[in-house]
Amino acid sequence: MSKIKNLKLIAVEVPLNKTFSGSKYKLDKRCTVITRIETDDGLVSEIYNGDNRTQTKEIIKIINEELWPLVKDGDIFKSQQLWEKMFIQVVPKHHEDYGIVMQAIACVDSAIWDLRGKAAGKNVAALLGGYHDELPMMGICGYYIEGKTLGDIEKETDWIYNTAGLHAIKFKVGGLAPEEDVKRIAAARQGAPKMTIAVDANRGWDFLKAVKFAQLAEQYDIRWFEEPYYWFDDAYGMARIKNKINIPITSGQSEISGNGVKRMLEARAVDIVNFDASEAGGITEWQRVAGMCHFYGVQMAHHEEPQIAMQMLASVPHSTYLECFPDPDRDPVWEKMVLNRPPLIDGKIKVMTDPGFGLKLDWDFIKKYQVN
């Protein structure tokens, strides 16, 4: 029996070489939290959570002061029990921001699953049931950058397909009028005719604009249309859109619990769910959501974070693409901090088989960008 004994939290912030803009946001740094939990028999977790962790100080404070006393000395193989203790006793105290507590729980829960895998000598995918040995990988691209032309977009997708080796992309839309964003999709298709293309509006449009875009873009063989509708009525609004178009609808990354996904499933609003374990309670909650989606006939994706998403998506039969950023400037953490990333072969990546999440991190890189 492995008992939880020691904790170390490390906040990492890496300035980006350029600003990346979606329809509703701008990014100029890559922030994450590394969670190292040690057991009484010498196992140590080595996992990080979060893409744009702008609240790292608050997350670390919640873990240290509120979550850690609940899990210290706990049995790593009672992860459901530990998760319920954290959720029931801490979430109600934070009426002003439940989401940040779910992010903190995700850090601890992910570390516990890493430890469970290391104790069992299995990767997390195997612990979750196991299904795939490799996954197709999708590159997130098409950011709005000042001065970027349609010709630049053609070159971008050509490079992604022929040089970076990715056969699928998720392209940013929602920041312009539908007619203008469709021109960008046409350029992306021109640059890589055989590429699988999904689009992501990041809740950028109302009903009429989303439907207009989908109708215009359908000719370019779009794999899915992600977060097409404003945040304030996404379930009902997406259901209306879904009934009007022929492109599958994806959402879920902005939900902070499985109940949010349940609401979308009951509204028949989605074809694919990209629930983000780091935003919403970790692997334990993601597994529950994946089971729910399976019974609704809805596929699973995961919002970014290949370091954890790989193991979860590999564990279920209804998974889709593992996401990454083909531009190394967008995610220097995955590009430089993870030393043992598997190579891409024909657009697919082998699932890491080392125990737990199987990550080997570059501690020189971490020391350089550690901020706490």
CATH number for the domain harbouring residue 53: 3.30.390.10
Q: Is residue 357 part of a domain?
A: no
Q: Is residue 295 part of a domain?
A: yes
Residues 146 and 268 in one domain: yes
Over 70: is that where the pLDDT of 52 sits? no
Q: Is residue 190 part of a domain?
A: yes
Residues 238 and 139 in one domain: yes
Residues 65 and 151 in one domain: no
pLDDT tens, position by position, 230-246: 887 778 999 999 999 99
Q: Is residue 136 part of a domain?
A: yes
pLDDT tens, position by position, 185-198: 999 999 999 999 99
- Please give the single-letter amino acid code of residue 225: F
Residues 77 and 15 in one domain: yes
Residues 45 and 186 in one domain: no
Residues 134 and 14 in one domain: no
Half-sphere exposure of 240 (CA within 13 A, CB side): 15
Burial of 38 (0-12, 13-18, 19+ CB in 10 A): middle
Q: Is residue 355 part of a domain?
A: no
Q: Which domain holds residue 84?
A: 4-121+362-369
Residues 300 and 328 in one domain: yes
Residues 169 and 280 in one domain: yes
| Mean pLDDT on 254-259 | 94
Over 90: is that where the pLDDT of 54 sits? no
Q: Is residue 356 part of a domain?
A: no
Residues 200 and 91 in one domain: no
Measured at the CA of 22, the angle between CA 18 and CA 26, to 5 degrees, comes to 50
Residues 100 and 159 in one domain: no
pLDDT tens, position by position, 313-327: 999 999 999 999 999
- Please give the single-letter amino acid code of residue 170: K
pLDDT tens, position by position, 116-162: 999 999 999 999 999 999 999 999 999 999 899 999 999 999 999 99
Rounded-to-integer distance, Cα 235 and Cα 265, Å: 8
Residues 180 and 237 in one domain: yes
Distances (CA, A) of 159 to 143, 164, 192, 326, 370: 15, 6, 9, 9, 32
pLDDT tens, position by position, 216-233: 999 999 999 999 998 877
Residues 149 and 107 in one domain: no
Q: Is residue 259 part of a domain?
A: yes
In the chain, the number of structural domains is 2
CATH number for the domain harbouring residue 253: 3.20.20.120
Q: Is residue 145 part of a domain?
A: yes
pTM of the model: 0.95
CB 29 within 8 A of CB 15: yes
* CA dihedral (359, 109, 308, 231) positive or negative: negative
Three-state secondary structure call for residue 285: helix
Pick from 58, 51, 85: nearest CA to 309: 51
